[in-house]
A and B are shown apart, each in its own frame.
Chain A
């Protein structure tokens, strides 16, 4: 059966959630390795695996269910205390999580059956788990049989009876949702003591469409699973159908008692949710109904409790008990603090529009005539302030904390250090520093290279560390913070530091520097980013092939960022990546040469001075007693026409080196939306993009790094030629 479109969408949601769960599982396993006694971690881990298995079951992904079931069983043993946490256990389960991830990605690619290679890989992994399962043979159940009870934090929950009224949407069969499969799954959560099949909706005679779902089910379920978990089972059919889960009548007393033992709260909903009688989703539904009913009427809205009772979500006595606990007579207020998922392209569109707005607004600022009258001036400054605010909040929409990306390295560090026989602890600080989502995604790989490099070349093996009087266990610190309009990510190790002499020797051998050349520390360290440069004597699987660091440098430069290295021999190395907060908008400095306009990133501009009179072919000047080399943009870009009578020099700083750019006119600061150049111009290396100015003209954005570096090269050629 091919996947219907609706199912495809539901599957998409499943894949997204499965990925999140897998990340939780991985984090949990690694946390468990550090603190094997953490019950909370074990519970969370078990819950994540259990939920994953449950959702997979709903989609009939049997291969995923079977495999996950065994992992769940192992974790179940850990949860029950029948199996202790050991590094061996974590090492056996981690690859299983990878395997599950691979299956999930396969599902995302439309593969609903296990491929032969996946089956083989799965069998090998399960064989690795077998020793742990035999710890308690009574607990090992074949795949597909009744799994352990779903986990809940704290002490085991008592069994509770629920009445489920299930009316599936008419299209559910066509969408691949088989109500019987749900009934079967409920059987795994607890015991289904009664099912009544409702055939009333079956039409008479020819009126029946065999592909429409007519059957309804009334189910009496006894389980220790909390209500939210039962509700989750129906996550993908709730929208189209009518799914109600109510505590069985004989449970009312126990809920009333539980509510009475709860602290007071301002909101009835909170009390009900906390007691377990109502789930968040049900409250949300009741709130919607409440809003619909009160819309358009001036009279006070229906009480939420009434809605809940009318909708048969919860019984009257429970609501009354909750109302008794409501603090004073405060009117119930509900805040919607939920997050929503937004298609990233819509955000991009918004940011693009805001960018255009910024440009348009900048253009009004360029017309001094408009600023003539006081009123207009005031209005304009107000608009300017608002546009700036809109720009900030639009950019903030794309901002995500970098912590998730940084914490992902736990796994890398664990695996790599194990391979290398080193002991390394990861410390993440500043994980809540936010940056553009696109940047976070694209900085992952370069960071990975840096981390691997530090593990491989930086941190010494334990024996060597002990010999040098360091702790056997090395520390790798990932630190992120905001600094003057950019975000800085540091990879700090306490290893042996960079060996200046060896780098120099290697560079000389490769012909990267002239023998005997005098270079600053920064320049020497920078050499490791040259293509093909590697000082590792042995090529390990981790690094040492000389690919990687130059790729890191290139990727970071592409993101308009830079890398600095600080290193002290024997103490450690800090690699510092500096990135702009966002890729979309920069503060620029607008200059004119003849008819053309150029934008220089403002953060590179240090000052502007007048070009002293002198011969036209001169390419340096004195600035406060120091020699300042400069580049004439007019000759660099072959711009026709006579230079202006008074030219200016914009002093820019790149990697600690100052250079001047000679221009005809200075036009001041502008905020610019970067439009990338088309593929036709991808070989240009002094221009990073273009932008449209307020007056409609196009200005090129100068890429300062290559411009300055390339100039030295050109000069050498010119002098030599």
Chain B
């Protein structure tokens, strides 16, 4: 598989420390061949810091490698969690920057 048809990854269960490794692997694999990646978050049942990290990591990796990754269909669970970290809009493109002072 090369260019155009985007990879679609749908998260249909929890995106937590239990599944983080699995989705991280799938996202990294999808990003590796250059095709755009679409992540559907409509079916996320639970999202914790580990899960959030995986999403943020994929977003940054895409940026670094010059690929595109889009997150769509953010459901209540996802939006609610993002709101807690004040990250609303970061995943679905209406983005604001994610930065912070780095600490040793």
The CA of A240 and the CA of B91, in the complex, are separated in Å by: 30
CB-CB under 8 A from A192, the residues of chain B are 86
User: Are A178 and B48 in contact, with the CB atoms below 8 A?
Assistant: yes
The CA of A499 and the CA of B53, in the complex, are separated in Å by: 77
User: Are B85 and A199 in contact, with the CB atoms below 8 A?
Assistant: no
Which of A1, A184, A204, A215 is within 8 Å of B18, CB to CB?
A1
Asked if A465 CB lies within 8 Å of chain B CBs, one says: no
User: Are A211 and B17 in contact, with the CB atoms below 8 A?
Assistant: yes
Asked if B61 CB lies within 8 Å of chain A CBs, one says: yes
CB-CB under 8 A from A198, the residues of chain B are 99-103
Least Cβ distance of B88 to chain A in Å?
10
Which of A180, A201, A213, A214 is within 8 Å of B85, CB to CB?
A180
User: Are B100 and A179 in contact, with the CB atoms below 8 A?
Assistant: no
The CA of A173 and the CA of B21, in the complex, are separated in Å by: 13
0 or 1 for each of B91-104: is its CB under 8 Å from A? (1 = yes): 00000001111110
The closest CB in chain A to the CB of B97 belongs to: A196
Say yes or no: A210-B103 contact (C-beta < 8 A), given A197-B85, A197-B98.
no
User: Are B100 and A196 in contact, with the CB atoms below 8 A?
Assistant: yes
Asked if B52 CB lies within 8 Å of chain A CBs, one says: yes
The secondary structure that dominates the B interface is: helix
Asked if A200 CB lies within 8 Å of chain B CBs, one says: yes
Asked if A238 CB lies within 8 Å of chain B CBs, one says: no
Asked if A102 CB lies within 8 Å of chain B CBs, one says: no
User: Are B98 and A208 in contact, with the CB atoms below 8 A?
Assistant: no
Least Cβ distance of B35 to chain A in Å?
18
User: Are A216 and B100 in contact, with the CB atoms below 8 A?
Assistant: yes
Q: Interface range on chain B: under 10, 10 to 19, 20 to 34, or 35 or more?
A: 20 to 34
The closest CB in chain A to the CB of B23 belongs to: A210
Asked if A195 CB lies within 8 Å of chain B CBs, one says: yes
The CA of A95 and the CA of B49, in the complex, are separated in Å by: 37
Say yes or no: A211-B50 contact (C-beta < 8 A), given A194-B86, A197-B85.
yes
Asked if A174 CB lies within 8 Å of chain B CBs, one says: yes
The CA of A30 and the CA of B54, in the complex, are separated in Å by: 51
CB-CB under 8 A from B70, the residues of chain A are none
The CA of A173 and the CA of B85, in the complex, are separated in Å by: 16
Asked if A159 CB lies within 8 Å of chain B CBs, one says: no
User: Are B28 and A206 in contact, with the CB atoms below 8 A?
Assistant: yes
Least Cβ distance of B41 to chain A in Å?
16
Asked if A94 CB lies within 8 Å of chain B CBs, one says: no
Asked if B87 CB lies within 8 Å of chain A CBs, one says: yes
The CA of A382 and the CA of B52, in the complex, are separated in Å by: 69
User: Are B17 and A173 in contact, with the CB atoms below 8 A?
Assistant: yes
The CA of A192 and the CA of B50, in the complex, are separated in Å by: 22
Please name 5 pairs of A and B residues whose Cβ atoms are closer than 8 Å in the assembled complex, sorted by A: A173-B17, A196-B100, A198-B99, A210-B17, A217-B85
B-side residues, CB < 8 A to A, are: 17-18, 20-21, 23-24, 28, 48-50, 52-54, 56-57, 60-61, 64, 81, 84-87, 98-103
Q: Enumerate the 4 nearest inter-chain pairs by beta-carbon distance, A residue then B residue, closest first.
A: A198-B100, A195-B86, A210-B20, A200-B102
Q: Given contacts A178-B50, A180-B52, A211-B50, list 13 more A-B pairs with CB under 8 A.
A: A174-B17, A178-B49, A180-B49, A183-B85, A184-B84, A197-B98, A197-B100, A198-B101, A199-B60, A199-B100, A210-B23, A210-B53, A210-B54
